[in-house]
Amino acid sequence: MLASPFVRVLLVEDSERVAQTVGEGLRAQGHAVVVACGVRAADAAFAAQHFDVAVVDVGLPDGSGLDWCRAARRSGSHTPILVLTARDSVADRVTGLDAGADDYLGKPFSLDELLARTRALCRRGPRWSDSVRVFGSVVVDVDKRAVTVDGRRLPLTTREHDIIAVVSSAEGRVVSRDDLLEAVWGESSDRATRSLEVLLVRIRRKLAEHGVSDALRTVRHVGYSWSLERSRRG
C-alpha cells in the first residue's frame, strides 16, 4: 500500500459516481487526488501542477481521453497514464497504448485492481517531468510553486502562482476565463471572477517590479495569454 501523501493523481472521469468511488479509494491509500470532468478541465489541472500519475477515462463529454493522452505525450509529458474504457478488445488496448497510455483497464473494473495498477505506475514513476518551464530570464517551477526572474523569486501567493502556471503552459494560446477559473478556483462564479481580476493586477505589478512587462495579456472578451517565448532548453 502507498502511504505517501506526496503522490499526486489526476483522475479524469465525467461520471460523478465513478469519480467519487475511485477518488475515495485513491485517497484511502494516501494519494492526493484532483478530479477533472473532461478534457479542458484536465488540461487546466495538468498545467497548474505536476502529477505522479493520471487515470483517464476514454469517453469524456468534450473530447476523447485517448486524444488527451496523445496531446500530453506530444507536449513532452511522461507522466504515467492509466486509461479506463468500456471497450476492452485487444485492438482497443493496442490503440490505447499507442496513444501514449502506460496501462489499460476495461470497465467494469475491480477497484482493488485499479488501485494495484495505480500503485505500480507510481512506483515506476515518470521517465521525465516537464515541471520547470524556462522563458528567457523567467522560470516557472510548477513543483516548487516558484516563479523567478534572473534567479530572484517573485513573492507570489498560491493562486497567483497557479494563474501563471496555467496561462504560461499554453505558450501563446489563449486560455479562456472560465477554464482559468475552473483550474484555480474550481468554479467560475462572480466571486471567483472578482478575485481573479484583483490577482491579475497584482501579478502584473510584481512582474513589472522585476523588469518583466506585458507577459500576462488580457484578450478582450476571450481570456488570457502568455507572451513570453519558451526557451529551447526549457
Measured in degrees and rounded to the nearest 5, phi and psi for residue 11 equal -105, 110
One domain for residues 112 and 197: no
More confident residue, 143 or 12: 12
Note whether residue 32 is domain-resident.
yes
Percent above pLDDT 70 for the chain: 91
Instruction: Give residue 169's identity as a one-letter amino acid code.
Output: S
The larger pLDDT score, comparing residue 128 to residue 84, is at 84
> Distance between CA 113 and CA 119 in Å, rounded?
10
User: Are 154 and 147 a contacting pair, CB within 8 Å?
Assistant: yes
d(CA 94, CA 91): 5
CB 173 within 8 A of CB 225: yes
Q: Are residues 25 and 91 in the same domain?
A: yes
CATH number (domain holding residue 82): 3.40.50.2300
Mean of the per-residue pLDDT values of the chain: 84
Based on the domain organization, do 156 and 52 belong to the same domain? no
- Taking the mean position of all CA atoms in its chain, how far away is CA 214? 25
Pick the last residue of a domain from 102, 124, 146. 124
Asked whether residue 199 carries a pLDDT value surpassing 50, the answer given is yes
Total domains in the fold of the chain: 2
- Res. 92: pLDDT tops 80: no
Domain holding 92, by residue range, is 8-124
Looking at residue 120, its amino acid is A
